[in-house]
Structure 1
Amino acid sequence: MLTLGVEEEYLLVDPATGLPCAAFDAVRAGVDAPAVQAELLQAQIEVATPICRSLDEVRTSLTEARRAVAASARRRAKGVVASGTAPVSDGAPPPITRQPRYTAMRTDAARLVDEQLICGMHVHVAMPERETAVRVLNRLRPWLPLLVALGGNSPLWRGQDTGFASWRTVIFGRWPVTGIPPAFASAADYDARLDALHRAGVIRDRGQVYWLARISERYPTLEVRALDVQLHVEDAQALAGAVRALVATALLEEDGGRPADPPPELLSGALWHASRYGLGGQLVDPVRGEHRDAAAMVKDLLDHIGPALAASGDHELVPSALERLLHVGTGADRQRQALAAGRGRPAALIAYLSDQMDAQ
């Protein structure tokens, strides 16, 4: 069975106003866990699971991390929320984490760094070696827009509804190397093209390759970065399972001919529609080249990964969770519902988001 690990990023906020607050150092000091890390901005905090074999391990680890971070924040009169974007912001630039890499990024793109108030969920799946990772990466490309739709949890920006399910995807898309990765002929091709980006000055280092899926430079894994951080741990658990099953399916397909290779403009359009509509409407199927209901595309995904889910024992958990997302809505839908229930008051939404961190 393929092992996996999950990283989640959270926002630190003022519980009264909902505004991001630079409280990483204080909150981190109160968390007794080695896998808590700084992010680009001091208003963010990242946690990571250990290497996991089962989705139950993923859920347990994320639940413990969320509770620990929330408890530390509460003791310091701060809030912590799992939202793909900061729902409330006054435009004031949050302080960056003082690391040379982050300082250089702010020199290169000050406005983008100032507005990087976004939080994702990254799923790492173990790979035997880089050549295999490239072949799997090629096969994941058509599925990445649907993962964005399933994981949408960032509808608000500066207190306003953007109309998008994943505004984080739009914000992240402003960096030079983002979106759906191109297809690669081999690991050597992958490395050569990243080296070319570096030589040309497009990126300062390989960490600035922000594709929705990439080969990790730190671990022997394929890293899928298409998902917003999830409102609830149960959704994070299920989506991590779907990603692992996609990777496992791609491994089994390796000798079955060329993978589907939709035109880049269709993949780009599919990604935009996924970030815009989430599961709330029709999406672009980049393989068929047509509009289709989100529910039909989720069914295609479950049919595609069904054997892998059966092999890992996740054949009940993942399908039931994805069906639940179709019926009760993604995190973006639930944020909108909470905002409406609070009569449009951002403070009510922040209270709801904060409560979710403790209700896992």
Structure 2
Amino acid sequence: MAGEGTTMRVGAEEEFHVVDLITRRLAARADQVLEGLPPERFTDELQRSMVETNSVPCLTLEELARDLCGMRRRLLRQADDVGLGINAAGSSPLVDMDELRVSPEPRYERMLDDYQQLTREQLICGTHVHVEVEDRDLAVAVAHRLTPWLPPLLALSASSPFWDGADTGYASYRTLVWSRWPTAGPMAQYDSAAEYEEMVRELIRSEVISDPGMLYFDIRPSDHVPTVEMRICDSNPRVEDVVLIAGLFRALVTRELEALRQGVEREVHLEAVRAATWQAARSGLEGDLIDPVGGVPRPAPVVIGRLVDGLRPQLEESGDWDLVSGLAKESLAKGSSAERQRRAFAHRGRLSDVVDLLLAETRACDWDRPADDSPSYRSAAS
């Protein structure tokens, strides 16, 4: 069985906003940032104001952190050279819709034709975490069984309180924007990879989606690499939070594989998962979350603390306990990115200050090593 007796590799895809440093608005100039960068590690996205980086598959979280920081630095140098800024957040506060366009690729242009306003307003960035599960039947089973544990990870990433110049009242408004797509949300249960693939073919036959990359589930078996891919999280300006989420997700996958091996049944109610996801998007780390055990609201630090403590055996086995538990305490102490953005806005009432905070936090990093050009996890689902 995948993962038995070994540490599974983990990787991440990060999406970034491209920002005009004069207006602090999104800038449709991703092509200038990507020019000269290796396409297997740096790629365009649906919107011309977005870029994506793709990590190598990593055995240790420290290796992942160094790789992510190296790619950020390389991306930032390229943006500096053309007078642009880069920020990692679920949404960027200042936008001029009339200035933005989808990337000039047939797939994206078809999406614009098919989905219209959904495509035009897809000005959101996420972090996708992959964990290696080579048995596709197991990947399908694990993806469904893990859905109740994803909302706390969303809360840790929440970084999109502002939308089109206004405070939405949500910590992750990206979640609400994302939820409008016809295949968004938690993944249902399938008895096998074959049954899952038949569902994919049925959706493509319906022509509501055009390819497997348009399955926008919060978690899914990847269609191009042997992994389980979590897609629920906002992009986050602090690499430390990305590493924390990656470590927790890998530990959750490890624990669930062991439960499957032992024949443990899981009863998952998707309605409850959707409600918990909405609550996490609303509150972030500053309010109550729905505890995956018991389904009742508890303060976010309690839910996160229980999550981390419950994964201690898996985190110790992979050598991640000290790092992950320390990062969790740090994240709770700092508060969500959404809360930090609101504090920045409250100081002078300027959204440009929020953008400047995101630019600065995205640039800062404690791990220091240049990215290389090794094979990477690359999304086919943008």
> Normalising to structure 2: TM-score of the pair?
0.90
Alpha carbon RMSD of aligned pairs, Å?
A: 1.5
Q: Which of 275, 279, 282 is equivalent to 1:273?
A: 279
Q: Which of 332, 346, 349 is equivalent to 2:351?
A: 346
Q: Structure 1 counterpart of 2:181, which letter?
A: W
Distance 1:318 1:350 in 2: 28
Equivalent positions of 1:118-157 (< 5 A) are 118-157=124-163
Distance 2:274 2:212 in 1: 22
Contact 1:13–1:81 (CA<8 Å) still a contact in 2? yes
User: Are residue 331 (structure 1) and residue 337 (structure 2) matched?
Assistant: yes
Aligned to 2:372: none
Aligned to 1:80: 86
Distance 2:270 2:320 in 1: 32
Aligned to 2:35: 29
Q: Structure 1 counterpart of 2:360, which letter?
A: D
Q: Which of 306, 309, 329 is equivalent to 2:312?
A: 306
Aligned to 2:362: 357
Contact 1:15–1:350 (CA<8 Å) still a contact in 2? no
Q: Which of 110, 114, 119 is equivalent to 1:113?
A: 119
Q: What are the ranges of 5 or more consecutive residues in structure 1 without an aligned counterpart?
A: none
Measured at CA, do residues 33 and 184 of structure 1 come closer, stay the same or move farther in structure 2, by a change above 3 Å?
closer
Q: Which of 232, 252, 257 is equivalent to 1:226?
A: 232
1:29-63 residue CA offsets vs partner (Å, 9 max, x unmatched): 15467400010111000001111111111111111
Q: Which of 14, 19, 23 is equivalent to 1:17?
A: 23
Shift of 1:21: 0.8
Q: What are the ranges of 5 or more consecutive residues in structure 2 without an aligned counterpart?
A: 1-6, 366-382
Distance 2:45 2:97 in 1: 19
Q: Which of 49, 52, 59 is equivalent to 1:53?
A: 59
Q: How many residue pairs end up in the alignment?
A: 359
Distance 1:87 1:22 in 2: 15
Contact 2:8–2:59 (CA<8 Å) still a contact in 1? yes
Contact 2:251–2:315 (CA<8 Å) still a contact in 1? yes
Contact 1:238–1:322 (CA<8 Å) still a contact in 2? yes
Aligned to 2:71: 65
Contact 1:16–1:347 (CA<8 Å) still a contact in 2? no
User: Are residue 322 (structure 1) and residue 328 (structure 2) matched?
Assistant: yes
Runs of 4+ in 1 over 4 A off after TM superposition: none
Shift of 1:277: 0.4
Distance 2:270 2:324 in 1: 29
Contact 1:67–1:357 (CA<8 Å) still a contact in 2? no
SS at match of 2:231: strand
Shift of 1:261: 2.3
SS at match of 2:261: coil
Q: How many percent of aligned residue pairs carry the same amino acid?
A: 38
Distance 2:141 2:214 in 1: 22
> Normalising to structure 1: TM-score of the pair?
0.96
Aligned to 1:188: 194
Q: For CA contacts below 8 A with separation 6 or more, give which structure has more relative contact order.
A: 2
Shift of 1:181: 0.9
Distance 1:289 1:24 in 2: 42
Measured at CA, do residues 27 and 353 of structure 1 come closer, stay the same or move farther in structure 2, by a change above 3 Å?
same
Distance 2:50 2:291 in 1: 34
1:71-106 residue CA offsets vs partner (Å, 9 max, x unmatched): 211211111111111211123261211211111100
Measured at CA, do residues 30 and 107 of structure 1 come closer, stay the same or move farther in structure 2, by a change above 3 Å?
same
Contact 1:5–1:124 (CA<8 Å) still a contact in 2? yes
Shift of 1:147: 1.3
Contact 1:260–1:287 (CA<8 Å) still a contact in 2? no
Distance 1:109 1:138 in 2: 27
Distance 2:78 2:14 in 1: 17
Shift of 1:190: 1.1
